[in-house]
Structure 1
Amino acid sequence: MSDVVRTSKRLSWLLRHGAGEKGLLMTPDGWSSIEDVLALLGIDRSALDLAVARNDKNRLQVDGALIRACQGHSLAGMPVTVEALESSWQRVHPAGPLWHGTTPAALPAIRRTGLLAGRRTHVHLAPSADSHVGKRFTAAVLLKIDPTDLVIFEAPNGVLLTRHVPPAAIT
């Protein structure tokens, strides 16, 4: 694994899951000081900039002296709130179906409860069946989602998110 990939993974982990554990100050919509992030990870600004630029899913967003993960935050131990994240994203109204990748083992529970965010703030959805966005790399089953009655947001990196997909919206 290259240094750039390793740094990108460390940044993504810290900003999506580890801020609370590491004591990183973060706003409710996920922004942290780049200076604080550099100090915690023991990297320099050029390494951070390179990792952000080369992140294959564009998970990281920089705005001046601040950085955040665009989406994918854990609920437990993180200073983000669902409401603040949603306020920082764009509300969208997709016309066509959306998609979610899962495993065959998860299907019985999904049929009963729908798609739940679990330990994350939101369920990730994909805008097309061939999109890599919103699908797990281990997904063997692709679920078609009717977005008509869902509240859907788009993060700055294009990922579509919702709090819950009820069973009736899965076709």
Structure 2
Amino acid sequence: MDALCAALGVSVGEVEDVVANGSKQRYELADGHIRARYGHSLPGHVEMPPADPPPVLFHGTGAGSVEAILRDGLHAGGRQWVHLSPSPETARAVGARHGRPVVLTVDARAAAADGAVFHRGNDDTWLTDDLAPRYLRRP
């Protein structure tokens, strides 16, 4: 934390404020260190407690990826987790980053019943491992 504050020219309090009040809740403080909650750049999974997902979640993607996703399922790719959204609006905003957005519906209830483990990343993000195509559909 000290090295980060020195490099950015900010106080510990300012960093703590960003962590506590950042719009996407991407960071957390632990033992005087700051880290990304999802651990994008670390090997293996960041420890997060499992959570019961809502019955339906959403995945936003670009139109060019839809057929492959519906055929092969969702995969974390370069991330540690598959990222899902609690609302179609949030998923649409995510999908818009990848071209013309398409929102897929995820049957989280069925996936969880079949053993998929979900984690609450923040208010706008649910995380899980790869999901088979049988849990996905176009709305």
Q: If the TM-score is normalised by the length of the shorter chain, which range does it land in? A: 0.7 to 0.9
TM-score by length of 2: 0.75
**Partner in structure 2 of residue 113 of structure 1:** 72
Matched, 1:145 2:106: yes
Question: Which consecutive segments of 4 or more residues in structure 1 shift more than 4 A?
Answer: none
Matched, 1:98 2:64: no
Q: 1:129 to 1:72 in 2, by over 3 A?
A: farther
**Partner in structure 2 of residue 48 of structure 1:** 15
Instruction: Provide the identity percentage.
Output: 29
CA distance in 2, matches of 1:66, 1:133: 33
TM-score by length of 1: 0.63
Q: For residue 160 of structure 1, what is the amino acid of its counterpart? A: W
**Partner in structure 2 of residue 65 of structure 1:** 32
Q: Deviations over 1:84-142 (max 9, x none)?
A: x1xx3221222411101001011122122111111110111112223469934426110
Which secondary structure state, in structure 1, belongs to the residue aligned with residue 5 of structure 2? helix
Q: Where do 5+ consecutive residues of structure 1 fail to align? A: 1-33
Contact 1:113 1:166 in 2 (8 A): yes
How many residues are aligned here? 128
- Which of the pair is proportionally richer in strand? 2
1:53 positional shift: 4.4
Report 1 or 2 for greater relative contact order, CA contacts < 8 Å, sequence distance ≥ 6.
2
1:64 positional shift: 5.5
